[in-house]
Amino acid sequence: MNPLELLFQPGIVQTVVLGSALLGSLAGALGAFAVLRQQSLLGDALSHATLPGVCLGFLVAGTRDLGAILLGAFLAGALAALSVMLITRATRLKTDAALGIVLSVFFAVGVVLLTLAQGRPGAAQAGLSTFLFGQAAAILRADLWIMGGVAALASGTLAALWKEVKLVTFDPDYARALGLPVLAIEATITLLIALAIVVGLQLAGVILMVALLIAPAAAARQWVQSLGAMVWLSAAFGAAAGVTGALISASARGLATGPVVVLVASAVVLVSLVAAPGRGLVWRWLREARARRAIAGRRVLAAFQGIAEAHGDRTYPTEEGMVETLIGRPAPGVMDRLERDGFIRRVDHPPETTRHWELTEKGHARADRERGDRKP
């Protein structure tokens, strides 16, 4: 059926929007912990590793039974997480190498199984390939119940274990010293992240799912001052990216959701990295420019004071050219700003017609203070 027709039938749009909002916010909220625990790549490996599980779930059930497919995906993801742990413990390989190996081996097996499964009757209807890049329009009303259940489980767990999860995320050694069961709490967080990945596959697909986990959290970190705010904002960003991506992909024929969601989420990250107050690049540039101006102003005042002292006259009218000879031409606006702030004053010095300045008492005081600051 034509996805455009599907979209405009009553109920379909609603299902897509609801499903995408649920999945986006679930992945966004849990992604905050993945990012803060510096486990972003574990999410990537887990989501790629679910592909063989998706295919096996379909092969065993024989139809597009979301329950069977998600169970398969979850088991494959759990096996992948376990493999990463075993490889890093038993061999000399570091975590990044273990993640790379697990990701590629599981994904390769998944692609082989996918080609097998697509030869089976009913595979086209099951839309197995939609799990590769995600297809929001394929979300069924019945699927919403599964997504809602996982979202309820995740938010309930986070609410109940909030302070413990926060402490384990921030300082696991101290948490252990307080007697908290750190391993169990860490396992719970990883389990919830794996669940979010599994139910999010329909929306973003195994290849790009990690973007729904990481991008909202990375963007949210730029704007917030507390973990609670970060989780909420990350969930909101995730929902927004999910819904926008789903609607765009559902309104165009054959446009997979995953890439669109990633593009939307990346735009949010970009804006956050550049513009967020305090942490954004623009703010840093502004701060640096202000610091540069202040330094330039200080050098000019020091030069004026030096010349005035050399002449034994606190109000010695200094020709601008002298200052330029001493410290180079001040950047545009520096002299004007010093004059506006009352540190220097224009004076006439006939018969010369060039610009002359004298240092005001305020200017002397500022120059004295700067000099004092530099004393050891």
Instruction: Return residues touching other proteins (CB under 8 A).
Output: 36, 38, 160-164, 166-167, 169-171, 173-180, 221, 224-227, 229-230
Residue 165 and residue 94 in contact, taking contact as beta carbons nearer than 8 Å: no
Q: How many residues does the chain have?
A: 376
Residue 105 beta carbon to other proteins: minimum distance, rounded to whole angstroms: 27
Which lies closer to other proteins via its Cβ, residue 177 or residue 270? 177
CB of 360: closest distance to other proteins in angstroms? 35
Q: Which is nearer to other proteins, 164 or 339 (CB)?
A: 164
Q: How far apart are CB 221 and other proteins at their closest, in Å?
A: 6
CB of residue 170 vs other proteins: minimum separation in angstroms? 5
Q: Of 8 and 170, which CB lies nearer to other proteins in the complex structure?
A: 170
Whether 263 and 249 have beta carbons less than 8 Å apart is answered as: no
DSSP-derived letter for residue 137 is G
The whole-angstrom separation of Cα 181 and Cα 272 is 35
> What does the alpha-carbon distance between residue 211 and residue 190 come to, in Å, rounded to a whole number?
17
CB 364: neighbour CB atoms within 10 A? 18
Nearer to other proteins, 160 or 310 (CB): 160
Name residue 166's amino acid.
K
Q: Nearest approach, Cβ of 89 to other proteins (angstroms)?
A: 13
Q: Mind spelling out the 3-state secondary structure of 216-244?
A: HHHHHHCCCCCHHHHHHHHHHHHHHHHHH
Reading the block at residue 67, the tokens are: 């329950």
Q: Which long-range contacts (CB under 8 A, 24 or more apart) does 307-312 make?
A: 308/358, 308/359, 308/364
| Structure tokens given for 352 | 């010369």
Q: Residue 333 contacts by C-beta under 8 Å, 6 or more apart in sequence?
A: 293
Q: At its nearest, how many Å lie between other proteins and the CB of residue 191? A: 18
Which residue number, 66 or 165, has a Cβ lying nearer to other proteins?
A: 165
Residue pair 107/51 in contact (Cβ under 8 Å)? The answer is yes
Nearest distance in Å: CB 162, other proteins: 7
What are the counts of helices (DSSP H) followed by strands (DSSP E) for the chain?
18, 3
Can you point out the beta strands (E) in the chain? 318-319, 344-349, 352-359
DSSP secondary structure string for all residues of 84-95: HHHHHHHSS--H
What tokens appear for 76 in the block? 């494959």
The answer to whether 27 and 218 are in contact (CB under 8 A) is no
The nearest distance, CB 81 to other proteins, in angstroms, is 22
Question: For residues 142 and 184, which CB has a smaller minimum distance to other proteins in the complex?
Answer: 184
Q: Which is nearer to other proteins, 163 or 375 (CB)?
A: 163
User: 32 vs 247, which CB is nearer to other proteins?
Assistant: 32
| Distance of closest approach, residue 92 Cβ to other proteins, in angstroms | 10
Nearer to other proteins, 169 or 257 (CB): 169
Q: Are 338 and 344 in contact (CB under 8 A)?
A: yes
Beta bridge partners of 228: none
Shortest Cβ distance from residue 178 to other proteins (Å)?
A: 4
Closer to other proteins by CB, 191 or 224: give it: 224
